[in-house]
Structure formats: structure tokens, C-alpha cells
Structure 1
Amino acid sequence: MKYLGIMTLVIMVFGCAQKDATVGISSEDFAFDYDGKTIELFTLKNDNGLVCQLTNFGARVVSLYAPDKNGELGDVIVGYGSGKDFVEKKENFYGAVIGRYGNRIGNASFSIDGVEYPLEKNDGDNHLHGGTNGFHHQVWDVESASDSEVVFSLVSPDMETGYPGTVNVKVKYQLTDANELKIEYFATTDKKTVLNLTNHSYFNLKDGGRTSINDHLMYLNADYYTPVDGGLIPTGELASVAGTPFDFTTPTAIGDRVEADDVQLKVGNGYDHNWVLNTNNDAAVLAAKVVDPESGRVLEVYTNEPGVQFYGGNFLDGTIAGKNDIKYDFRGAFCLETQHFPDSPNKADFPDVFVNPGDEYHSVCIYKFDVEK
């Protein structure tokens, strides 16, 4: 099945009636010129007090303030607090739109109709997240902006970072009074190409990254995952999670088995794998759920994508300071990136990621917040 230009990210927050105009990062901290364009910060608010901040650098989610079990707002997004920091500090893809291809492509190449397309090798011998100048590291144009909605757009020229076809992408963020943050992706191409867009937000539901996420409880609606080789490229196998540390079909603390004597955990330095969802590409079916017992915050994930990459923050090392000078330590945040499988262009048995002229790329992700008291 082909997923043809809209990605919808919906975040619903319950039990929050606060209105605090001081919540969030100052827009003055984001005014920064890069590559001939100006990086800006946009703040969306609704009548219930929910606040989300975005930047056109990488079309990123910068912050999202959600209530805990006491109704206190807290930022659940890990990342930087200024435009300059995003440009100059270590790139961890914080909150960014990833393209043209989210995740890894083995040997940094793929073929279309017998023509090989070499890509940048920016992850050992492999290609990661569209390359060093992927969508995450570009200043997007701002088509429109209001208190409830921002629309970003980008034109990726033919052969940019090695990918064929001129691709037009539009990303629409909308914050509604139903406490929904909707992200819609629209994309078309003038030449057959591959696309696998995702959002790379890092979450810590407890305290925004001050402490580990290992005590968060996680459920993944997946009976299989895709094992990887030493370069984190899928072997092509769909392996059962039963009896392994990859079984999250019942809620389990993220840190309970992360140090188990398992070859896949050793290869990934923890969890950094793609799970094969049981949802049958139905965005109405729960794909994942994470609960922080201390704050009571709950994150649910829904998607029409066939997979989700769970990354447990294994490359955070406490050396770089983020927002509020927080140094994000090892496993201080997690990502749940809805996606087609890594290296799909080179795996004929994996779901198809090829997009043709006349197609409209479409993907749906829903991040839904709640509170357990």
C-alpha cells in the first residue's frame, strides 16, 4: 500500500485550564540568520492554555507544554532554546521534520528502474535522515502564520543530497481549541523517487529531560520488529518479539531489560529499532502508549504507517546543554518516529516507499496526551 502527502500529528491534553502568557521561549532567542534566511520562532496557543512552539529551521517542534496530574504545565520536548543553538550545536535532529528519507539507507545508495543513486555517507558507510543538509537543516519558507496555525514549505531540488526529482513539501501545524496539534505534510515529485517523512521529537514526560526515561512505562502494539546489523541496517528479517527484551505488548518500564544480554541491544547500545505495527495501517488503532508514573502524563501514538522507530536516547551523553541549560544525559529522552521501515528502498519485501509524479505522499501520525492520576 502506498501512502501518498499528509501527516497529521494530533496532541490532545486533558485537565488543563491554565492560561499563562509567559509560558515558553522568547522569540528574541530565535532571531538568527542562516543561509540567507531568518530563523524564527512561532508560538501557538489555544483557549485551554496549551502552548506549542515551532521554528522554521527544520520545521521543528521546539516545545510543547502539557499538564501533569496536578494540572501544572511542563515542557515535554527535549531540545535547544535558540535558533543559534540549533544551527551551531551538536545535531540530534531535535523536533525536526526528517527528509527526504527518515532513518537509514544501507550502503548510502538505492536503485530506481535500474539506475543507482549514491547518497551521502553520513553514518559510517550508510545514509541517515536525508544527509547533513536534509530537511532538518534547512530554513523553511513561512507561507502563513497566526496564533493557531503555521504553514511551512520547502522545495527540494532534483538530486539534492543524491535523491532524484524536484519535491515540493508543505507542512501545516495547527493548534485547535480541542487541544490538538495537527501536523499535515503534503508532498509531490516530478520524477520517481523515495520519500519517508517523519517527525523526530524527543520526549521526556516527567521533567523535560532532567532525568532518565527508563522508568516510563511503554506499550507497543507490535508482535515483530526488524533486527539490524552492526550499522543498524535491517537484515530483512521480521523477528518475533516474544520472549525477548523487545516485547512491549504489555506495558513495561523502558529500562527494565535495556541492559539484558541480547545481541540486538548491544548493537544498538539499547533500543534503536523499528517495530512492525499490528495496526494494519489504521490510524484509529493504538500503536504505542507511554506513561510516566510520577507526573501522570500519558502519550499515545496512532499512525497509518507500518512501523515505528523507538529510540531510547542512547547517543545523548550529557556534554551539550539544551533548554534551561539542561544537559541531556544518556537515555534522558525517547523518540517514537512513525515511518516506513529503514532501508526499504533496498528491501523488496518491505513496504513500498517509491513515489511517482502525480502521486501525493500521505502519512498520518497522532500523538495524544492524557493524564493518569
Structure 2
Amino acid sequence: MSVKHIITLTNRQGMQIKLSNWGATWLSCIIPVGEEKRELLLGCQSFEQYQQQDAYLGATIGRYANRIANAQIDIAGKHYQLTANQGVNQLHGGKQGFDKQLWKIESQSNQQIVFSLISPDGDQGYPGELKVTASYTLTDDNQVNIEYYANTSKCTPVNLTNHAYFNLDGETENILAHSLKVNADYYLPVDATGIPGNDLVNVTEGDMDLRQLRVIANNLLTSSARKITGGYDHAYLLDKSKSVAAQLVSSDKKVTMDVTTSYPALQVYTGNFLAHTPNRHNGQYANFAGVALEAQFLPDSPHHPTWPQPSCFLEPEQTYHQQICYQFFINQ
């Protein structure tokens, strides 16, 4: 199937999301806020712009989300050179990651769409044929549930996520006045290329504590950890004793979004390099126009098997299954 489609899901509350089989991408998220129909998701005006932009707006990310150092992995004594697309490292699955693939529409209804993709053995350097499904379900209580399933013919690392950027104020300039909470005691410091070191660090070090609602702009560029990345671009190891992984609140306090997930970690990215990304209105986004809350395995996990999380490697006898839920609440 070579045709790009737009699919619209609508619930009984009047919430509407749009998706595309191009990159199994989440294009739009509109919710009634009083008399206003508020767009909560960053997006482009055309498919051509989606194909040209490099911010991964709303896309499904794979085979491995986030970074792999030196674009190489070793499995059972065998070395695999992956395609590098950010210096010597691989980011978000390589030059032709899942975000740049045309997915098949397996099924659709008014409130659910299921996409599938077959990633061949050797795709971007990864071993094994990987068969993937990604489903989006819009519930009547304003949840967007994303579920991933995958099976492989050979052992391979798998880390699928969605790269939606949220601005709960609507299409305003930035998210700096939003408040963010992440239930995590530890995070991963990174170097200037986004590659983590060996050790998780307590969030109290480096002023990275998001365990209470915190205005994003608060000391944004004063901490040494955030100076390196120009804002938040860090993975947090989630406290799995808490049901909610993260919470985001609009600056006008009218919209709250809760994030729940089966994944062990959450990448918080405040759109530090969004400048010049095309928007829906013949213009361009500025830095900090949206925040991405990407549930996933910790970055560069193939090189850190002792980190306190499940293995990111999928074996042929296993089925990969992960879930991410974004639920929206209107505070009138």
C-alpha cells in the first residue's frame, strides 16, 4: 500500500484525534475546553512537511527509540553495525526508521486504528525480521491508549514509542509555563551528544527533581545537567509503585494530561531544538513549542544490561507488548 491516509477517531466527549499510516503518526489531538476546540499536539500542514522535518512529530519510533552509542550492538558474541544518523551514534532507529515507513492499516473503527509493519532482517543494521503492530484507541473518558506488539525471527533490541509533542495551552508559542511532574527518583545524565554514562543518578543531584509539579521554565538552563542539552532531554527511571508516570498541566490550568505506561522509563524532552520545524499555519515552531513525554526503555540499554529494568532484547520465542496511555482532563 503506497497511499498515505488520514484517519480520524472521535469519542462521545467530542474529543478527536487524527492519525496517518505514514510513520503510524499521531497528527492531531483536539479536545473541547469550554467553547474552545483546543489543539494539544504539534503538527505540520502537509505530508511533504512531515517527510522533511526532523523532529519526529507524533511519529512511531523504532526499531530502537532514543540513542545507541556508536551505532553498534553485540548479541551472543556477534557484532552488528547499525546505521548512524546522529554523528557516530544512532538515534530513533536510524536514517530510515519506523517513522519514515508506510504502515499497513490492519483494522479501523470510530475509536480505534491498528497499524502493522514488517521490518526485514538487516533493516538499519538490526538482526531479525520484526513484525510490529501499533494500535491507537480513543476511549470515552479521553484516553489515548497506544499498544505495541512485536515478534522477531532473531534476538534483537526493541524499543518502540510515540514522539508526540504536547502544548496543552493550544497553539501558543511555548510550553515554558506548563507544570510537569514525573514520578521518578533517578535519571540518566548524558553528554553533549545525548549518550548516557554508566550510572543512574538521584534526581536531587543536578536540580532534576520533578516529583512535585514544577513549572518547566523554573531554572531551566541553570542546572549543569540541563545546560548540556539546552533544556530537558533526559530519561527518568520511573517509580513503578506509582500508577501515574507523569502529569502535565497547561499554564491556564484548564487541561491536565496524565501519562501511564508499562515501560520502565520516560524521556522528557522540552523541544530544545524545535526551531524551524514547520507548523500547521505556514510558519515555523520555536524552541520549546512542545514537550515530548516518551515512554521507553532507558537510552543505550543494549550496552547497559545491569540497569534496573527488564531486558530490551526480544527473543524469537517471546512477544513484545508495551502500552502507553495519555489521558486528558478538563478543569472548568
1:231 corresponds to 2:196: no
Note the alpha carbon deviations across 1:206-259, whole angstroms, 9 max, x for none: 023x31111101111111101112321110211111153211111110011112
Match of 1:278 among 226, 239, 257: 239
Name 1:344's counterpart in structure 2: 301
Are 2:327 and 1:368 aligned? yes
Question: Deviation per CA, 1:338-371, whole angstroms, max 9, x where unpaired?
Answer: 0110000011222310110121101121111112
The residue that corresponds to 1:45 in the other structure is 10
1:293 counterpart residue number: 251
Partner of 2:28: 63
One-letter amino acid of the counterpart of residue 183, structure 1: I
Instruction: Quote the residue 1:177 is aligned against.
Output: 140
Q: Equivalents in 1 of 2:145, 2:259: separation in Å?
A: 13
TM-score between the two structures when normalised by the length of structure 1: 0.85
After superposition, where does 1:118-157 map in structure 2 within 5 Å? 118-157=81-120
Greater RCO, CA 8 A, separation 6+: 1
Shift of 1:290: 0.9
Provide the C-alpha distance between the structure 2 equivalents of 1:372 and 1:293, rounded to a whole number of angstroms: 12
CA separation of 1:298 and 1:178: change in aligned 2, threshold 3 A = closer
- Alignment size in residue pairs: 330
Are the equivalent residues in 2 in contact too, given 1:62–1:81 (CA < 8 A)?
no
Deviation at 1:141, TM superposition (A): 1.0
Structure 1 residue matching 2:321: 3-state secondary structure: coil
Bigger drift between 75-84 and 302-311 goes to 75-84
> What is the DSSP-based 3-state SS (H/G/I as helix, E as strand, rest coil) of the residue aligned with 1:136?
helix
> What residue identity is the alignment partner of 2:194?
L
Partners of 2:14 and 2:32 within 8 A in 1:
no
- Cα deviation, residue 82, structure 1: 1.9
1:67-90: CA deviation from partner (whole Å, max 9, x where unpaired): 33x352211010112222212x22
Moved more, 53-62 or 173-182: 173-182
| 2:226 equivalent in structure 1 | 265
Q: Is contact 1:228–1:235 with CA below 8 Å preserved after alignment? A: yes
Residue correspondence of structure 1 range 234-249 to structure 2 within 5 A? 234-242=196-204, 244-249=206-211
Preserved contact between residue 40 and residue 83 of structure 1 (Cα < 8 Å): no
Q: CA deviation at 1:182?
A: 2.4
The secondary structure found in structure 1 opposite 2:281 is helix
Contact 1:202 1:334 in 2 (8 A): yes
Q: Deviations over 1:46-80 (max 9, x none)?
A: 22211110000000100011233x35221101011
Rounded Cα–Cα distance in structure 2 between residues aligned with 1:148 and 1:304: 22
What CA distance in whole angstroms lies between the structure 2 residues aligned with 1:271 and 1:181?
Answer: 24
User: 1:186 aligns to what SS in structure 2?
Assistant: strand
Aligned to 2:79: 116
* Equivalent AA in structure 1 for residue 270 of structure 2: G
Q: Is the 8 A contact 2:10 2:16 kept in 1?
A: yes
1:165 to 107, 128, 132: 128
Q: Secondary structure at the match of 2:192?
A: coil
Structure 2 match to 1:187: 150
The amino acid that maps onto 1:302 is T
Q: Normalising to structure 2: TM-score of the pair?
A: 0.95
The percent identity for this pair of structures is 37
